[in-house]
Structure formats: structure tokens, C-alpha cells
Amino acid sequence: MVGRFAAAFLGFGAIACGGNGPVDVPQGDVITRVGVTDAQSGIQGTRLASALAANLSFSDGSEAPRTEVVWTIVEGLGASLSDTISLADGLGRAEIGLTLGGVGTYRIRAAIKVDRSKAVEFTATALPGPGVTDVQPTSFAAYDTITVRGFGLDPGTYIEIGGVPAWTFAGPLGALRATVPACLPTGSVDVVAVLGNARSNTTPATYTSSSDSIRLEVGEFRVFTPGELGGCATFPGTGGGEEAEYLFAVQSAGTDTGSSIAFRFNGSLPGIPAPPPAEFVDPELPFAVRFHDWLREQDAEHGRLPKPPVLPAAPMAAPPGVNVGDERKFSVCSKLECQAVVDFPEVRAEAKYVGDHAIIYVDKESPVGGLTDGELVELGRLFDRELYQVATSAFGSESDIDGNGRTIILLTPVVNGLTPRQQCSTSIVTGFFFSIDLDPVFRGDARSNQAEVFYAVTADPSGSRGCTIAASKVRQIVPVTFIHELQHMISYHQHVLVRGGSVEETWLNEGMSHLAEELGGRRLLAGGDTDAFTRFVTGSLTNSYRYLENPMGNALLFGGTGTLAERGAGWLFVRWLADQYGDGVVRLLSESGMVGTRNVEAAVGEGWERLVTRWFMTNSMSDYPGVTVPYFLEYSSWDFKATYEAIHTNDPAQFPKPFPLSPFVSNGGAFSRQGSLPTGSGDYVFVHLDAGSDGFEVTFTGPGGEPFSGGAPRLSVVRIK
């Protein structure tokens, strides 16, 4: 588990980063089982806690990255693998996710694709899930307490009544108690025990509707559809000696990128309606961001192009050797929307660092005042020994179409010249990856370097080729961009080249790349470098702060290029997924032929609506003082309330509030909110009831009071006090 952070951050800047099957690469000779992933057990129907993992090596014991492994279930029924193939990462480790079927033992075989006699086997055991034997009473109304007896009712099991999670707590030995939720349809309902993805047998019972108010325990979380609120949307008043507080969230939980839902959310008590929240319009994105987005649009177009047939495998020659001092030519995109050959000037560069996984080339025409040979070696070791390993372990392997086993980092003033000088104080293109270098469609194209290349700025203290960039700045900013772009490179390889699918949707692809930045920062922080950690997480924290300032103005599932704030939403969502389902979930997202919300659902085994509504409420409720909420409403790796307060203290002009999310506050049910809910996002309302206050009713409808005609509008609520 990653560490939990609440830290002060200084020096925040505005710099932004700019199925054909894999090409034959040397395949490992030896496959060994990672023992700690063997002999796992889990509840039937659930995914194993850890991915099955095998190490691939050559006969001399060295790691064999990118070796293809074929996975099959050879014993047991009903289980499924997250894929049938995986590639060893930069450390020679191949992984696969296993979802268990029925109770029993399973055997899974992992074999090297080019020689399937070289294989190892794993075992896994599916244990019985929860079962219900008795429900008392069998007829009940809202807010009655029922006792559910059965087996396998482990901690973490909750009771679901009529498809709605009930507030569940400990009962007698071998039993649980649950408070019956309101707003269920009158008649027969099923009572089910749920543990993870495992569901018990159903036990029928009878529900009698009630006109009682919706009564929630402190910390209890509920999600309603607009239809469920019909005739059942009243919250109780308070007694003479108590107060009450609720946080409501109205949200679009749909899956259509770039869409929105017009809404009205009203309380019933008299009061002056609040003006609709202002629609936020981001200013024109900086050139660096527009260039980056154009490259990702090109990736999507390239991914859709028909691929040439795979040529018969030929014996692999030894990887071409590269030595320090060797020179080679590169073609480099020199302008936004580079298309013609003339837009890709040829540069000659010299190898300054050759490592196990990375090579640094420096353009021979670089300005004076660049990095020294010693600084280039230091930078190369950072790429080679730290960032490369972090990225490939988290997201899987990159391609190796040139067969040299390394990713190239090219420092060239052509990248410096991309940014218009008038934007030097706003943001600069610090580096990029371009799929034209990887895709076999462009084999033989003069614009493609047919290699894994990351293009980066070079130091230019005099600004002779563009923005003024000191050597110290290159050392600080280029590593952050490198790991961001390496994730994009890995994603293109895994989704398009290995599995013949589409590129990952931009909202999720960007969220993954910003998580890569964070993971790189955490790796360096573990070595004691707090300044580097700050540099690596600055962009994501800034973007997420902007998102939480205005969730009504920014979508999670944005269409097109999106805003910087929307990238912040994507990072928060992927971070929450990793906190809830383990760090390995991001590799399942990467090593997949699916994209977008379907990819997320497959990786975690949960429906999108449940995930996105929980995440949205987490943004406000995680680390909420004095309130214990369900585990799924918490970030386990960050204390964001303390973190944002720290950056506010350090720079109140740029971060004006201690916590950016500020729900509309209503004393009682006197509120009226309206506007549009962008996909995945929405609006918050905080309701306070003084002691002795009357209850109130809420309505959640279309803008004119009409029922919603489409989309997936959802109302969530947590009782805070």
C-alpha cells in the first residue's frame, strides 16, 4: 500500500507536458512463478487480491522484458482471466488478473508463447461466499431492524434489501442486523448478503411502504434515482436538543463522454432560491496543452488505421549495440499539426548515456550552456533506474520495435522551438511521445523514427531557439514529462499494437499519465527527495484543486481535449480506484483491449454507476472531521483536506481556499439549484438543521420540474451530523 500524504508544496508552476501484435523481440528462455501470488484464495465470484505473476529471464539469468506469456485455466469451471496474454514489464514480470468462479480449486498455466513447453502453473481456491438461512421478521417496513442469519457473514458483508444496500451492523453470533431502507416499492423484496462481488442466495420477504421520512444514521450513504424519490423524499426534522446536517450530491452517472443533463434540485422550505452556479469556461488552453492534445488525437486516428499483416517471424539478431559517442539521425515534429515531411526536420544527435533501459541522445545543434556530460549521466540513471521501472511495473511494457531493448530520450532544440515565445511565461512544451514512431502503418515513412522515442527540450540559457530554459530547469521538468509520456507510449502499445484495440479514451488515458507522475514522485520520495516529490505531484494537485473549485463546470468523462481541471478529475478518479482496489488495478486497465468505462468495470468488477457516485461523494467526505464514513468514501493514500490547506497556506493568491470544494450551504431546506450536470460530475448542497427544525422534502427533476428523459441522473446523500 502506498503511503498517505498531507504535505506542504512549494514552487507551483504552470508548466504543462506537452491488433497487429508486437514486433518480434528476443523472448525469454526461463519462466518462474512468483511464489507469493500462488495458492491464493478468495470468495467465489471475486477477483483474487493479487494478480498472478511470473518472472521471465534469459538463460543467463538476466531479465527478459516484453516476453509474451499465454495464460490458460486448465482446471476449474466458471473462472475468468483479465486477458489471455500479457507481456513481461521492464523488470521481466508478467501479470494477469483472475476472477474466481464456483467453489473449488483452479489451476492456471502460464507459458512462454514462442515455446509453450516452458511453463509454470498456479493454483487458486474459491471459497464459499456468504449465505442467508433466515431473515426475521419476514415482513417489515422502512427503518425496521431485521436480523439476518447465515454463514460466511464476514466483516465487510452488508445486507441488500430490494436491491438497495441497507445500513448493516453486527448482530448475534453468526448473524447481522440491518436497518430497512426507505423508498422501496411495496410488496415482495429479496434479502441478499453481499461480500465484495460475491452475493448470497436470495431470501424473499415483504416490504410495506411507509410515509415516514428518510432517516439516516450519521455517516450513512445512500444513492437514489429520481424515480425512487417519487413520494419518498422527505427528511425528518430535529428534536429540541439536536441538530442535523446532510451533504447532497446531484450528478450525471452516465457513460456518454462530453454530454450533460439539465436539472433542478429543490428543497421544500421557503427561502430565496440560490442563483444557478456560474458556468465555468476555461480560457484558451496554453499552446503546450493544445500540442499535447493534438498528439493524442493523432494517436486515436493512427490506432484506427488498418494494420499491415504480421510478417513471419525471423530469427532475431542480437540487439544493435549503441555506445556513448555514437551518432544517428532523427526526424522531429517541429510544429502544431505537423503532417508534411518538411514539418519533420532531420537532426543529428550524439549518444551521451547508454543504460539498460534508456539511451540519451543530444542534438548536435543544441545551444551552448546545456547539461554537462555528468549531468546527462545523472539524468539517464534517473530515467533508467527509477522512472522506467516505476512506469513499466505499474502499467506494463512498452514496445521495442527497433529491437534495442531501450527507450530513447532525445534532447533537441526543435522541441524548444515548438512553443511560441509569447507563451514562455505561461507554459512550454517540455517533451512528447508520438505514435507515428511506433505504429507499423508508418514503417518506411520518412517522418517515423521506427523506435521508442521521447522528445524533450534542451537547455537554452540565452533563449536562442525559443523560451529561455536553464540547465537546472531541464533537470527538474523533463523527468516529470518523461514518465507522463511513457505511460502514453505503454498505453498505445498495449491497447493498439498488442491487442488490436482502440486507444484509451482521453479522460482515462490522461488520468493514468498523471498517476504515473505521482508514482514517480513517490519513488523518489522513498529515497528522501522531497523536492522531487513536490515537482512530480504539483501539476496533478493544481489541476485537481481547479476541478474541485468548480465540479459543475468540468466533466470527468470529458469529450475532445478537455480542460486542465478535467485532467485533475481524471487523476482523482484513477487515484481513488487504486486506493479502493489496489495498486495493481492500473495495470489491468493498461493491459486491456477495452477502453473507457467498460475497461474500468472489467478491471474492478463493479458497475460504473456505483463507482462514479461513490467517487464523487468521496471528494467531499474523505477525512471529513468528526464523521466516520464507509471505507469506499475515503482516499487512503492522501489526506487531501490537509494537503490543500497546506498549499493554500503557502500560496493563498493562487489557492484562495483551504479546501477548494465549497458546497452551497442551506439552513434548512431552503435551496434551489439548477444548471447542467456534466458527465461524471455535478453539484453539492450542504443542509444544516437547527435544533427543533421542521423536516424538509427534496425534488430532483428536469429544469422545468418534468421527469428526466434520459441520461443517468443520481442523487447521493450522506448524513454528517
Q: Which of 365, 462, 442 is nearest to 410 (CA)?
A: 365
For residue 22, pLDDT over 70 is answered with: no
Domains and CATH numbers, the chain: 30-127 (2.60.40.10), 285-309+322-485 (no CATH)
Per-residue confidence (pLDDT) for residue 318, from 0 to 100 = 46
For residue 15, pLDDT over 50 is answered with: no
Alpha-carbon radius of gyration of the chain: 27
CA distance 121 to 75: 11
CA distance 140 to 142: 7
pLDDT one-digit tens code per residue, 197-213: 788 999 999 998 766 78
The string of DSSP letters for 375-434 reads HHHHHHHHIIIIIHHHHHHHH-----TTSSS-EEEEE-HHHHTTS-GGGTTT----EE--
Pick from 224-238, 292-306, 373-387: least confident = 224-238
Bigger pLDDT: 526 vs 280: 526
For residue 11, pLDDT over 50 is answered with: no
Share above pLDDT 90 across residues of the chain, in percent, rounded to a whole number? 79
Residues 6+ apart with CB under 8 A from 325: 350, 351
Cβ contact 423:287 at 8 Å: yes
Per-residue confidence (pLDDT) for residue 228, from 0 to 100 = 85
> 121 has which bridge partners?
109
Q: Which residue do the cell numbers 502544431 mark?
A: 336
CA distance 217 to 177: 14
Question: What distance separates the 2 farthest-apart alpha carbons in the chain?
Answer: 84
Mean model confidence pLDDT for the chain: 91
Q: Which of 676, 654, 18, 564 is nearest to 284 (CA)?
A: 564
Cβ contact 344:337 at 8 Å: no
Q: Which residue do the cell numbers 506542504 mark?
A: 8
CA distance 710 to 695: 30
The structure's pTM equals: 0.92
CA distance 127 to 44: 6
CA distance 553 to 116: 53
Cα torsion for 447, 452, 456, 458, to the nearest 10°?
-90
Cβ contact 352:376 at 8 Å: yes
pLDDT band at 5 (very low <50, low <70, confident <90, very high): low
pLDDT one-digit tens code per residue, 118-140: 999 999 999 999 999 999 999 99
For residue 446, pLDDT over 90 is answered with: yes
CA distance 639 to 637: 7
For residue 279, pLDDT over 60 is answered with: no
